[in-house]
Amino acid sequence: MSEFHVRAVAEGEQRACLEVLEQALHAKPISDEDWAKMAPSWPAAGKFAAFDDHDTPVGISSSFDIELTVPGGRKLVTAAVDGVAVRADWTRRGILTTMMSAQLEDFAARGVPLAALHASEGVIYGRYGYGAATFDRGVFVERPRAQVRDGVGRDGVVRFVTPAEAVERVPALYNRFEGTRPGFAARPAQWWPGFFDRLVTGDGGYRVAIHSGPDGDDGFVVYQTIDTRDRTAPERGAILEIRELHAGTPEAWAGLWRFLLSVDLVSGVAGRGRPLDEPIAALLTDPRAVNTTEIIDELWVRLVDVLTALRARTYGTAEPVVLEVLDKQLPDNNGRYLVGPGGVERTTAEAELRLDVAELASLYFGQGFFRDLVVAGRIEVLDEGAVDRADALFHTARAAWCGTFF
Ligand SMILES: CC(=O)SCCNC(=O)CCNC(=O)[C@H](O)C(C)(C)COP(=O)(O)OP(=O)(O)OC[C@H]1O[C@@H](n2cnc3c(N)ncnc32)[C@H](O)[C@@H]1OP(=O)(O)O
């Protein structure tokens, strides 16, 4: 059997690595035109690949640095892991495992305290210390029933912009939002060409509309319409599918929804990947016009440096708890941590709860409960009183949401 070796991707090898990814994701081969758009978002830096005996790439794992807002509002440098794939004729030989090790060691050596990714499947990343940490919601709003309440979302103006204007204006607009929501991602310059520009200048028929309030532009939406009408059912209308909707103020958010629900010949507005606590039902006269179509994990998070990550966030009011963390890949993280509202430190005190770093990661953004993972046999309880304390410390009222795909 042929052997593989994993190394950093060299300049000029990116496109061949992207081909591995596109094939594994069952996408079309990348055209020259598409590559020209993608290339700025696909530098060699931050990529590890597996190569066969002929130095042909057969696996790829990529990342770039972003900043994520953690509970309490601080921003933490995070390795955004994207573009992970192994060619179908090379799977289940340990290539992903080798690439993940190389990548995690690189993050640790560079002092990057967090890593995050969107998982294609739920069974892959737990073994590398990642846990599902934020969640999002699919919604379908039935347009004929959906009346926005009077007196909200009326003060601003919504206007279409051309793809070229969107490419020029939206990044600066987004960067002004400065999210305080846990999970919010500051998008680096590298992110925009391959994700946003490619979307709005491509042939998917996406429209971009910007909302302006009293202080200027303060929100935007990217959507496409899918016409489901035919001669036998003309009343069916089109489905308007939101791809991105971000707003800097509640009024801008309400104004954008008011606009979307006003578009004619549309029977429903659908959105995937929306925040769990987006108050669409509260905005409408008939809350039953809003249907939740799915709730699914969004960001999988890895605490690369447990102490730095735990220290970066704030905690609720409760007596401190002693957690013993187990980390097979990054053993420097092994040990006990005293976590309380006053701060976090390493300790030699007796452990009260013992858990793997993946379980801790899944609770880090304040979603989910220690109690649930105890019930599921995923946290060892050494002191029963610690479970409620840990939940009071870690859980956050506001739903964590990233809203940025990578
Ligand atoms: C962040 C992102 O980019 S998400 C996108 C991920 N990419 C994809 O889904 C593209 C299609 N899939 C693939 O390219 C590959 O199957 C990968 C990358 C998911 C896995 O690569 P492989 O090289 O086969 O993984 P590797 O051999 O290291 O497997 C390690 C372990 O995970 C298990 N595993 C890996 N992938 C899967 C899977 N999709 N389903 C179930 N188990 C899996 C293996 O069985 C193995 O288990 P073991 O240690 O008990 O033997």
Separation CA 186–CA 165 (nearest Å): 21
Q: For domain 136-297, give the CATH number.
A: 3.40.630.30
State yes or no: 145 annotated in a binding site. no
Ligand 1 mutation pick, 92, 93, 117, max ligand atoms within 8 A of CB: 92
Tell me which residue has its CA closest to atom 36 in ligand 1. 124
Domains 5-135 and 136-297 share a fold: yes
* Cα dihedral 297, 298, 303, 304 sign: positive
| Among 62-76, 140-154, 225-239, 357-371, the least confident range | 225-239
Tell me which residue has its CA closest to atom 15 in ligand 1. 86
CA-only gyration radius of the chain, Å: 23
Q: For domain 306-394, give the CATH number.
A: 3.30.1050.10
Asked if 56 and 68 touch (Cβ cutoff 8 Å), the reply is: no
pLDDT confidence bin for 2, thresholds 50/70/90: low
Identify the pLDDT of residue 59. 98
Give the CA dihedral 40, 41, 47, 50, nearest 10 degrees.
-90
Ligand 1 mutation pick, 5, 25, 84, 99, max ligand atoms within 8 A of CB: 84
| Statement: 5-135 belongs to CATH 3.40.630.30 | yes
Identify the pLDDT of residue 108. 98
Burial 94-114 (b: 16+ CB within 10 A, else e): ebbebbbbbbbebbbeeebbb
pLDDT confidence bin for 37, thresholds 50/70/90: confident
Asked if 326 and 168 touch (Cβ cutoff 8 Å), the reply is: no
Identify the pLDDT of residue 1. 58
Give yes or no for residue 84 CB within 6 A of ligand 1: yes
Please report, in angstroms and rounded to a whole number, the separation of the first and last CA atoms in the chain: 34
The pLDDT of 100-109, averaged and rounded, is 98
Give yes or no for residue 115 CB within 6 A of ligand 1: no
Tell me which residue has its CA closest to atom 45 in ligand 1. 92
State yes or no: 110 annotated in a binding site. no
State yes or no: 56 annotated in a binding site. no
Separation CA 329–CA 307 (nearest Å): 16
| Among 23-37, 267-281, 351-365, the least confident range | 23-37
Convert the pLDDT of each residue in 221-252 to its tens digit: 999 999 887 777 767 889 999 999 999 999 99
Tell me, in angstroms, the distance from the centre of ligand 1 to residue 123's CA: 8
Q: Where are the domains of the chain?
A: 5-135, 136-297, 306-394
pLDDT confidence bin for 271, thresholds 50/70/90: very high
Identify the pLDDT of residue 228. 82
Q: How many alpha carbons lie under 13 Å from residue 74 in its C-beta half-sphere?
A: 12
Convert the pLDDT of each residue in 200-213 to its tens digit: 999 999 999 999 99
